[in-house]
């Protein structure tokens, strides 16, 4: 997770299913799909856009790449 290059990082999907996040072989939650702790629906549109902008300015990835990764989870 602590890799500068996004392609070298473990995916959120892999994290959710990692043995460290599960107990006795069960998923971390009872739902068929886990939800992020903070999802876009919990943020005002302006806040979401600001976060994406700051990530782009920080050189994390392009806006398109970030949105693709967020929507892929």
pLDDT of residue 37: 54
pLDDT of residue 16: 76
Q: In this model, does residue 14 exceed pLDDT 70?
A: yes
Residue position matching structure tokens 């806006």: 63
Count CB neighbours of 29 within 10 A. 12
Count CB neighbours of 12 within 10 A. 15
At 15, give phi and psi (nearest 5°).
-60, -45
- Where do the domains of the chain lie? 1-35, 40-73
What would the pLDDT profile of 15-66 be if each residue is shown by its tens digit?
A: 777 787 776 555 555 554 555 555 556 778 888 899 899 999 999 899 999 8
Confidence of residue 6 (pLDDT cuts 50, 70, 90): confident
Burial of 59 (C-beta count, 10 Å sphere; 0-12/13-18/19+): exposed
pLDDT of residue 18: 78
């Amino acid at each position: 997770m602590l890799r500068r290059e996004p392609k070298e990082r473990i995916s959120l999907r892999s994290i959710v299913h990692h043995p460290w996040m599960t107990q006795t072989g069960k998923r971390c939650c009872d739902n068929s799909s886990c939800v992020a702790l903070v999802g876009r629906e919990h943020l005002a549109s302006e806040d979401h856009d600001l976060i994406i902008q700051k990530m782009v300015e920080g050189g994390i990835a392009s806006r398109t790449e970030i949105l693709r990764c967020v929507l892929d989870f």
